[in-house]
Amino acid sequence: MNFYDSQKITTILESKGYQLQDSPDKADLVVFNTCNIRDKAAHKVYSDIGRVNKFDNKKTIAVVGCVAQAENSEMFKKNHAIDIVLGPQSYHLLPQMIKDLEKKSKLINTEFIVNEKFDYLSEQHRPQGISSFITIQEGCDKFCSFCVVPYTRGPEYSRSIEAISKEADLLTSKGAREIVLLGQNVNAYQDLSLNKVKRLNHLIENLSKNENIKRIRYTTSHPINMNKELIDCHADSSKLMPFLHLPVQSGSSTILRKMNRKYDSNFYKEIIYKLKKAKPSIQISSDFIVGYPGETDKDFQDTLDLVDEMKFTQSYSFIYSSRPGTKAASESDVTPLHIKKERLKILQEKLRNIQLKFNKGFCNKNIEVLIENKSASNPEYFFGRTPYMQSVYIKSSNLKDGDIKNVSISTCNHKSLYGSC
């Protein structure tokens, strides 16, 4: 979502005459779009500001996004070089704030004014490429005990199907063939603008009518919002890809309860089995937090057992990172860091082996790949993705971006497939 937001910010500024520079050294204005999900990411902004300001203290520095929202005016105290602090729901105000710096030296806006932002941003477009993002939902009402998102992005808010369809039309007119629907709780999507509530399955059905859209994905989902209609949509929609990122966070029901995830391990497994029944080819990826306060060896073993049973084909896993202001931050955390690191290593090795085995199953077979672009690292190759989100590098001289091709896979590693056509 931050990648998408950064593109929107660039478009807004370009429409006001700013020019994007390829290095911060050449820029008069540097905008940091920040993530507050983990401690390390939140700290990074301060060291990055120091780096861009090393040779020239005259740059205008704007910090936008979730760290700005969470740390608010404290940011000015922590780093005097910062001129603007702007929360993620107000970055359409950035050009005016830059202007206002002529009258005032420090400016801040961390209000939640989502619909105004979306009204403004629906006019702002920068071609994103063959696979393009559309934010359809923002915010979160779930309040997982470890997470800052409900505090930084505000309550759940969905855009109308009409506004999203218009944005999809614009993106496809600029070449997009795959639309990735984004939201912090994307499957909590609900369009309330009509007499009858329309949910994510309705939106997918609607977008599927656009002939230029060949593939649809959505991310990130919460297990409790995987309703029957959405599961059925995986069976019914040929454009909805058979791949779903459905974060579980832990395989232990005890830890899930402490995390306030609102489901237990059995509920999660049932959702996956229902999805697999509706769409047998579907593959699932997940997120894991290792070493949540109070996680025992038994809890960690439950996570390993869940991975063995579910066979996630891609995943993100991290050691728990305490975030100020969350409920989990006040919980006693006695597990030593070296044990958490050891658990993470064991989990990641298991996940990597499953992913490698899954990828190996495609060797000496053909798979449909949506060609996205020429590989940046090797011009002899094109880059594309399978329906299951695997990266594919294809040796060929005559492919076109946006083509869907049957690619013969010759080799792979756990991250990527390699082939020709």
In sequence order, what E strands does 43-169 have?
60-65, 82-86, 107-109, 131-135, 137-138, 157-158
Q: For residue 173, what are its two tokens?
A: 């007119």
User: Does 147 sit near ligand SF4 (CB under 6 A)?
Assistant: yes
Return the range that interacts with ligand SF4 (CB under 6 A); candidates 2-10, 88-96, 137-145, 357-365: 137-145
Does residue 143 belong to the site contacting ligand SF4 (CB under 6 A)? yes
Q: Indicate whether 69 belongs to the interface with ligand SF4 (CB under 6 A).
A: no
Applying CB under 6 A, which of residues 88, 150, 223, 251 lies at the interface with ligand SF4? Answer: 150
Q: Nearer Cβ to ligand SF4, position 4 or 418?
A: 4
Q: Which stretch binds ligand SF4 (CB under 6 A): 146-154, 189-197, 210-218, 304-312?
A: 146-154
Cβ distance to ligand SF4 smaller for residue 67 or 149: 149
Annotate 281-301 with b (16+ C-beta within 10 A) or e (fewer): ebbbbbbbbbbbbbbeeebbe
Looking at the Cβ atoms of 219 and 390, the one nearer to ligand SF4 is 219
Q: How far is the CB of 37 from ligand SF4 (least distance, A)?
A: 8
The binding track of 201-240 with respect to ligand SF4, each residue x by CB under 6 A or -, is: ---------------------x------------------
Q: How far apart are CA 372 and CA 380, in angstroms?
A: 14
Query: Is residue 273 part of the contact set for ligand SF4 (CB under 6 A)?
Result: no
Number of other CB atoms surrounding residue 389 within 10 Å: 17
Q: Which of 184, 219, 285, 359 binds ligand SF4 (CB under 6 A)?
A: 184
State whether residue 46 is helix, strand or coil.
helix
Closest distance of CB 149 from ligand SF4, Å: 4
Report the nearest approach of ligand SF4 to the CB of residue 221 (Å). 9
- Give the count of beta carbons closer than 10 Å to the beta carbon of residue 380: 11
With CB under 6 A as the contact rule, the residue among 142, 274, 327, 395 that binds ligand SF4 is: 142
Q: Which of 144, 203, 216, 255 binds ligand SF4 (CB under 6 A)?
A: 144
**Stretches 9-17, 53-61, 138-146, 160-168: which one binds ligand SF4 (CB under 6 A)?**
138-146
DSSP conformational letter for 264: -
* 316 in contact with ligand SF4 (CB under 6 A): no
Q: Please check whether residue 284 is in contact with residue 272, taking contact to mean a CB–CB distance below 8 angstroms.
A: yes
In three-state secondary structure terms, 39 is helix
Of 167, 71, 154, nearest to 113 by C-alpha is 154
What is the C-alpha to C-alpha distance for residues 211 and 229, in angstroms, rounded to an integer?
23
Return the number of the residue (172 or 252) whose C-beta is nearest ligand SF4.
252
374-379 — which CB contacts under 8 Å span 24+ positions? none
Q: Give the span between the Cα atoms of 207 and 239, in whole angstroms.
A: 9
Question: 219-256: string of b/e by CB count within 10 Å (b at 16+)?
Answer: bbbbbbbbeeebbebbeebebbbbbbbbbbbbbbbbbb
Of 140-148, 227-235, 237-245, 409-417, the window that binds ligand SF4 (rule: CB under 6 A) is 140-148
Residues that bind ligand SF4 (CB under 6 A): 140, 142-144, 147, 149-150, 184-185, 222
